Amino acid sequence: MRSWSLKTKVSVYCLLLTTLALLGTALMIFPVVYRQQLNELDDNLRANAKQLYEDVLVKYKPTQPGSKQKPMTVILPAALQRRYVVINYGDTEIFRSRVPSFKSVDLRALGPGDHTVRLPDADRDSRFVQAQYDKCTIWVGTRLGVLDDTQATLRMAYWIAIPTAMLLVFFGGRLLAGSALSPVSAMTSAAERIGANAPDERLPVPQSNDEILRLTVVLNQSFDRLQRAYNSAARFSADASHQLKTPIAVLRAGLDEMRSCGYLEPMERETVDTLVAQTRRLTTLVEDLLLLAQADAGRLKIEPLPIDLTPILSTVVDDTEVLGDEKQLVVTLHAPAQLYAKGDPRRINIILQNLTENAVKYNRQNGKLRISAQREGAWVTISVANTGSAIPDQHRDRLFERFNRAGMGENIKGHGLGLNIARELARAHGGDLVLVRSDGEWTEFALKLPATEAPMLNLAPALKVVAA
């Protein structure tokens, strides 16, 4: 049920609640109806007994005490023709209905009151009431077939009504839930549009004065606060990165000038070389932060053009072979002679450099690095794979987050920005960057870019020259 929509959950909950209510009602109604019918039947049987006494027995003259009473001949009223009747005067039975299954039944053993019994050779219960008039005791009974048939009809009607009610409740609940949740759907659609490209978008405020209105107002206020904080952070990052570029450039120029001087001692020159290397790392970090600040602020503009990726890949492979000399890596490239995509060559080169630098840093000694590219429908896929340790499973969800090193190689130089920058640039091109595999044998990333056809050469000027 966790994966069900809220509308479906509400419908199912309504269905379960209605089913429980109907079943509970049935458990209460059936006994109540049966008891009511039984009481009405008892009253009817007592009325029959009273009628029998008033019409027949008041005229009965018993014999003298001590003499044996003889059965009497009684013509039953029409209402009692289909009843069981037993009449006792004192301890003597003076009348009994001539029904075979009723012939040997001793009702006196049941005791006083009303009783439900099963007669011999009968398929249904019978109901008997006892009426006492002076010395005369009358039992009047009847079979409970009518009551049993009524209960069966009621149960049948109920079992037919329950599925019908369940269907009505389910679809009705789904309809009502959809109507009640329509403002939430509108809020969801509006919230999906809020982002770096549309930070001013807000949730639509419903007209009704209810909980949805309060939630919408609170969320819009939260979005306002988040936008102000986001803008402040992005502005600070961009301003700080921009302001740092100049002093770092001056510092680097001064260090280069000092290193070019011939009066430095070997120890001093080594110190200056270390400072230059750190200055270069700082320059790279500032440029990365400035690029990310532009992406956060929605100012990262890409002007894609049809470009052939094969020369770019060849250059990247040459640079990678130089980086991998220390580890003696085997670098291979598999790409067609021409492979066109829409993109910014400088930005795509940054993506590939970040991927290949990671592939070198996290590779093993004498390992392999494989770059392959191909066109797949409307996309160009560039794969960068390296041998080495697998990325831990618990770090894969946060692999593209900033300053995240994925729990690997903490002693390896880097800031944890390369993959985040690469993915931001890939998405700015309308593509994406994903981790394909990392199983301890190969770690592979795939860059997807929109494919395009080779540009047509403009031969118009040449044709004019030939014509002339």
Task: Assess whether pLDDT exceeds 70 at residue 406.
Answer: no
Task: Assess whether pLDDT exceeds 90 at residue 394.
Answer: no
DSSP helix/strand/coil, 359: helix
Domains of the chain: 6-61+69-148 (3.30.450), 211-296 (1.10.287.130), 305-450 (3.30.565.10)
DSSP helix/strand/coil, 88: strand
Task: Assess whether pLDDT exceeds 90 at residue 180.
Answer: no
Sheet with 115-117, side-by-side order of all strands: 92-96, 84-89, 136-143, 126-133, 115-117
pLDDT at 20: 86
Tokens in use for 39? Answer: 């009481």
pLDDT at 169: 84
Give 155 or 403, the one with higher predicted confidence: 155
Q: What is the mean pLDDT of residues 456-460?
A: 49
> Is 0.85 topped by the overall pTM?
no
**What pLDDT digit, counting tens, does each position of 290-331 carry?**
666 666 666 667 778 899 999 999 999 998 998 888 899 999
pLDDT at 281: 66
pLDDT at 6: 72
Please report how many Cα atoms fall inside a 13 Å half-sphere around the Cα of residue 126, on the Cβ side. Answer: 22
Amino acid at 464: K
Lowest mean pLDDT among 228-232, 235-239, 323-327, 459-463: 459-463
Task: Assess whether pLDDT exceeds 80 at residue 280.
Answer: no
Q: What is the mean pLDDT of residues 149-164?
A: 84
Lowest mean pLDDT among 8-12, 56-60, 84-88, 345-349: 56-60
Q: What is the mean pLDDT of residues 14-42?
A: 86
Confidence of residue 285 (pLDDT cuts 50, 70, 90): low
Rounded Cα–Cα distance for residues 177 and 170 (Å)? 10
Cβ–Cβ under 8 Å, residues 355 and 372:
no
**What pLDDT digit, counting tens, does each position of 185-203 carry?**
777 777 777 765 666 777 7
Q: What is the mean pLDDT of residues 438-446?
A: 91
**What pLDDT digit, counting tens, does each position of 113-124 carry?**
888 888 877 778
Lowest mean pLDDT among 212-221, 227-236, 340-349, 433-442: 227-236
Confidence of residue 432 (pLDDT cuts 50, 70, 90): very high
CB neighbours (10 Å) of residue 410? 8
Q: What is the mean pLDDT of residues 79-107?
A: 79
Portion of the chain with pLDDT greater than 90, in percent: 16
Is 308 exposed, middle or buried (CB count within 10 Å of its CB: 0-12, 13-18, 19+)? middle
Rounded Cα–Cα distance for residues 104 and 120 (Å)? 9
Confidence of residue 136 (pLDDT cuts 50, 70, 90): confident
